[in-house]
């Protein structure tokens, strides 16, 4: 009896590799989104702290610097939100790529299953044919037992 080997095994392996690579990219993009979100959270928290500071007992010069810093921080928050949005878009694209890679791998696995099923059926037919032939040859002969 022959051993079964999928005819497109290398293609299946390649698609599995692509899926693993897509999973790695998704993980990296998720980490990037979390990093960008943490940066944004720190900036927003700093902005809130600045806005709640008691500014009544300070000099005009300090108020100017404080106002400039708040404006700079607000600009940074806007840029960080854009950066976070870009990272989220990249993550979504990576997830779509992962879905595609997973679907392609599943297609190859289904082909493997069908081919394996046909192989087994062919083996059964061959075995049945051999049994039929053996039965035909031994029919009508005197039994040795």
User: pLDDT tier at 134 (50, 70, 90 boundaries)?
Assistant: confident
3-state DSSP call for residue 52? helix
Q: What is the mean pLDDT of residues 115-143?
A: 86
**What letter would DSSP give residue 140?**
T
Give Rg (Cα) of the chain: 34
- Name the residue with tokens 């029919």: 139
**What letter would DSSP give residue 96?**
H
Q: What is the mean pLDDT of residues 105-115?
A: 94
Distance CA 92, CA 29 (A): 9
For the chain, the domains span 9-103
Residues with Cβ within 8 Å of 144's Cβ and at least 6 positions away in sequence, in order, are none
pLDDT digits (tens, 9 = 90+) for 16-30: 999 999 999 999 999
Q: What is the pTM for the complete model shown?
A: 0.73
Least confident range from 14-18, 62-66, 141-145: namely 141-145
Length of the chain: 145
CATH T-level fold of 9-103: Helix Hairpins (1.10.287)
Report residue 77 as tokens.
């928050």
pLDDT digits (tens, 9 = 90+) for 50-59: 888 766 667 8
Distance CA 127, CA 24 (A): 46
Q: What is the mean pLDDT of residues 110-135?
A: 91
Averaged pLDDT score across all residues of the chain:
89
Among 38, 28, 37, CA closest to 91? 28
């Amino acid at each position: 009896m022959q051993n079964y080997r999928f005819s497109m095994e290398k293609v299946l392996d390649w698609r599995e590799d692509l899926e693993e690579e897509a999973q790695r990219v998704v993980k990296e993009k998720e980490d990037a989104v979390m990093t960008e979100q943490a940066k944004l959270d720190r900036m927003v928290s700093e902005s809130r702290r600045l806005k709640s500071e008691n500014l009544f007992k300070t000099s005009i010069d300090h108020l100017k610097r404080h106002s400039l810093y708040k404006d700079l921080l607000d600009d940074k928050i806007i840029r960080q939100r854009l950066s976070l949005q870009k990272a989220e878009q990249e993550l979504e694209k990576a997830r779509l790529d992962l879905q595609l890679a997973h679907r392609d791998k599943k297609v190859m696995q289904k082909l493997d299953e069908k081919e394996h099923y046909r192989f087994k059926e062919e083996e059964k037919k061959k075995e049945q044919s051999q049994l039929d032939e053996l039965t035909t040859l031994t029919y009508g002969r005197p039994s040795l037992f």
